Structure 1
Amino acid sequence: MSTQPDLLYTEEEEALRAAVRDLLADHCDAAGVLARAESDEPHDRETWKALTDGMGLAGLLVPEALGGQGATHREAAVVLEELGRAVAPVPYLTSAVTATEALLACGADDLLTELATGRRIGALAVALHLAPGGAWKTVRAENGTLRGELTGIADAAVADVLLVPADDGGLYAVAADAVTVTPQVSLDLTRPVATVTLHGASGRRLGEAEPAVRRALRGAAGLLASEQLGVADWALTETVRYLKERKQFNRPVGGFQALKHRLAQLWLEVVNLRAAARNAADALTADAEADLAVAVAQAYAAPVAVRAAEEALQLHGGIGMTWEHPAHLYLKRAKADSIAYGTAGAHRQAVGELVALPTP
């Protein structure tokens, strides 16, 4: 007999949220993120070290026997909510979720232990835009060496090990210093992408690429909804705060009925997004109808996150249009996330297929 999922946050999850939010307030303020986004080194290694060495968050999904925390996707989702609220330029989604999920499918215990410490960063060499059900590009495997080029690889510039799918059906671990990483122009400067070129790089075969990549993409897509929730929640909270303070005609702008209606509608959408994201995290934890839960969450998350960020930028008025205000970082993250791990349209089609509902 199946039980209904409990989507409310537990006391432990709320405690985790508070700890992560406090840490990000100390290490990842808006001014610092803005400065890094305009520099040649967008990744915040100090914050990453605090999250991993100080709190052990890189190993949340890794079993305790392998040096991890043995936690679930629900806890990882809480962390991603807070990282989304701060648009933190750290490779948590790509290393602690995507790469870790792929390694869990392969049973690569030694690499899992290394990623769990956070001292090594992993990246799955599959384009960031690829949906869980999509076909990924591979490289050629020839006599133990790998040759080819892969584009749109998120956080490749900061990775120590790349998990590369090859045309022989295997997933290979390749040291980052054995490949050429060329930065690509990315809308979201807090999560840069790059082209990875392999010129006869040696790799260690970990296992079959098919189940590993599909598990990794499903987990990443499901937990990305929590990051999008964090972006949307920040946009709503900061906009409400600003409109309470900003005055026009000697009264708070937030008191105007038209703006109240817009914010009320946005609040409803964010609440619904929270339910969808929590359901996806819970389904991944229980591995019960996770494909459907992830597809539903991603079909809903992207439009809400983008609209929330757009409303924040517009309702902040002139200050919201400046580079000095962080609103543009949230809009760029929301827009980039809207095509990461599949577009909303692709996930809506997946929902139709999963429930045998014809789609246009």
Structure 2
Amino acid sequence: MDVEFSEEQQEIRRALRDALDKQSDSPAVRAAMATEHGYDAKVWRRLCDQTGLAGLGIPEEYGGVGFGFTEVVIALEEMGRALFPSPFLASSVMAASALLHGADEGARTEYLPGIAEGSLLAALALAEPGTRDLAAIALPATATADGGYRLDGVKTHVVDGALAGLILVAARLDGETALFAVDADAAGLTRTALPVLDQTRRQARLDFADTPARLLGTPGAATEKALERVRQLTEVAIAAESVGGAARCLDMTVEYSKIRVQFGRAIGSFQALKHRCADLYVALETSRSALYYAAWAAAEAEAAGLDVDPAAPGAGELALMAPLATTQATAAYRHLAEEAIQLHGGVGFTWEHDVHLYLKRATTSALLFGPRTRQRERIAALAGI
């Protein structure tokens, strides 16, 4: 495993960091999260046009840039550092991955170019009330006499579900797991924005009442494999965002410790604070190591495809490393954000300081796929513990 980034990958990081420093600074983030949809459509459009951000991991044949998942992880790390409010996770990672792995060629050809361009925003609806377990998906789909399909039921905690133009829905068709596409203006679909702790990432409840839907791909084992891969990739994506955000929290804390003077000296010169910052650095680097291992496994698994032997390099390791990386990274992220607030003293508790925004992102990211205890149970089962 080579953990060194290529010059091209380092250039991607530099270009994105420069763009985000200019267009997603603190005032821009606060202005975006105060809007109805929680992001700035003009900034999103500009970044997509200038950097190809939305299509970074989408193959060129579907209008994307054609990079691998490693480059997507680099982008997510930088977006997490800037706390960039955008549809990237929901549309370009979750929905795009579901289409690439779980849809038919016609659907990929129809939907992916718009997602890659950034003009079509998509969302993936997995969770249902009371559960976020893929095996517990129960929303029923029924076939109609005219060859179509209808959905009835509820999906909840759908990331960007209230603003997406395309909804991909996991449902049950004759007892089999199936993936469907639903237009945002479809009859019988009611979208309700949920109150969220993290205003930089919106979630919604979707109610389906005899809602027309288009079947994507083949129901059954193929769709189950596809959704499992989507979950794994999303977990690595969350880990990448978390590492970026945690690194920013540590940077802010170290910088503050150099300029805050107490008892006639910078507080960063006190040994007790040095020790705490050193511990935070260790937690951050441990998470970064887990992330990069998971990113390597994801890239290897993506190159091999879904039908490869689960024990093959990359494929089997991704199943284990994805939840491990996200639990490690989100726990470290929250810890670093909490410590940053403490070490900033009184100013750290104020609305005007940005640290609380990172704490909110850390808290909600840890729960996107259910409680951390459930993820650790998966890790233990996969590791044979």
Deviation at 1:142, TM superposition (A): 4.7
1:319/1:98 Cα in 2 relative to 1: closer, same or farther (>3 Å)? same
Contact map agreement 1:7 1:275 (CA 8 A) in 2: no
Contact map agreement 1:62 1:68 (CA 8 A) in 2: yes
Counterpart in the other structure of 1:191: 201
Over residues 166-215 of structure 1, what are the superposed CA-to-partner deviations in whole Å (9 max), with x where a residue is unaligned?
Answer: 22032111111222210111111111111111222211111234233222
Contact map agreement 1:131 1:217 (CA 8 A) in 2: no
Q: How does 1:34-73 map to 2 (within 5 A)?
A: 34-73=30-69
Counterpart in the other structure of 2:304: none
In structure 2, how many angstroms separate the alpha carbons of the residues matched to 1:310 and 1:157? 30
Q: Is 1:225 matched with 2:266?
A: no
Higher relative contact order (CA 8 A, sep 6+): 1
Contact map agreement 1:299 1:344 (CA 8 A) in 2: yes
The equivalent position to 1:327 in structure 2, one of 347, 351, 355, is 355
Q: Is 1:242 matched with 2:256?
A: yes
Deviation at 1:238, TM superposition (A): 0.7
Over residues 91-111 of structure 1, what are the superposed CA-to-partner deviations in whole Å (9 max), with x where a residue is unaligned?
Answer: 111111111111011243221
In structure 2, how many angstroms separate the alpha carbons of the residues matched to 1:321 and 1:353? 40
Q: How does 1:1-360 map to 2 (within 5 A)?
A: 5-105=1-101, 106-107=103-104, 108-110=107-109, 111-127=111-127, 134-143=135-144, 144-168=149-173, 169-178=177-186, 179-207=189-217, 208=219, 209-287=223-301, 288=314, 289-357=317-385
In structure 2, how many angstroms separate the alpha carbons of the residues matched to 1:136 and 1:89? 29
Contact map agreement 1:219 1:284 (CA 8 A) in 2: yes
1:351/1:14 Cα in 2 relative to 1: closer, same or farther (>3 Å)? same
Contact map agreement 1:302 1:344 (CA 8 A) in 2: no
Q: Which moved more, 1:269-278 or 1:42-51?
A: 42-51
TM-score, normalised relative to structure 2:
0.87
Deviation at 1:146, TM superposition (A): 1.8
Deviation at 1:307, TM superposition (A): 0.3
Q: Which moved more, 1:138-147 or 1:95-104?
A: 138-147
2:61 match: secondary structure: helix
Contact map agreement 1:296 1:348 (CA 8 A) in 2: yes
1:164 match: secondary structure: strand
Deviation at 1:44, TM superposition (A): 1.9
For these two proteins, the number of residue pairs brought into alignment is 353
1:122/1:264 Cα in 2 relative to 1: closer, same or farther (>3 Å)? same
Deviant stretches of 4+, over 6 Å: 128-132
2:211 match: secondary structure: strand
Contact map agreement 1:222 1:297 (CA 8 A) in 2: yes
Deviation at 1:220, TM superposition (A): 0.3
5+ residue gaps, structure 2, are 302-313
Deviation at 1:141, TM superposition (A): 2.8
Contact map agreement 1:139 1:165 (CA 8 A) in 2: no
1:342/1:8 Cα in 2 relative to 1: closer, same or farther (>3 Å)? farther
1:173 match: secondary structure: strand
Q: Which moved more, 1:204-213 or 1:320-329?
A: 204-213
Structure 2 counterpart of 1:175, one-letter code:
D
In structure 2, how many angstroms separate the alpha carbons of the residues matched to 1:58 and 1:132? 28
TM-score, normalised relative to structure 1:
0.93
Structure 2 counterpart of 1:239, one-letter code:
T
The CA RMSD over aligned residues, in Å, is 1.8
Deviation at 1:343, TM superposition (A): 3.6
In structure 2, how many angstroms separate the alpha carbons of the residues matched to 1:296 and 1:339? 14
Contact map agreement 2:126 2:134 (CA 8 A) in 1: no
Contact map agreement 2:139 2:151 (CA 8 A) in 1: no
5+ residue gaps, structure 1, are none
Structure 2 counterpart of 1:194, one-letter code:
A
In structure 2, how many angstroms separate the alpha carbons of the residues matched to 1:228 and 1:132? 22
Over residues 70-104 of structure 1, what are the superposed CA-to-partner deviations in whole Å (9 max), with x where a residue is unaligned?
Answer: 21111000110011011111011111111111101
Deviation at 1:132, TM superposition (A): 7.1
1:312/1:196 Cα in 2 relative to 1: closer, same or farther (>3 Å)? same
2:154 match: secondary structure: strand
1:167 match: secondary structure: strand
Alignment identity in percent?
38
In structure 1, how many angstroms separate the alpha carbons of the residues matched to 2:153 and 2:362? 31
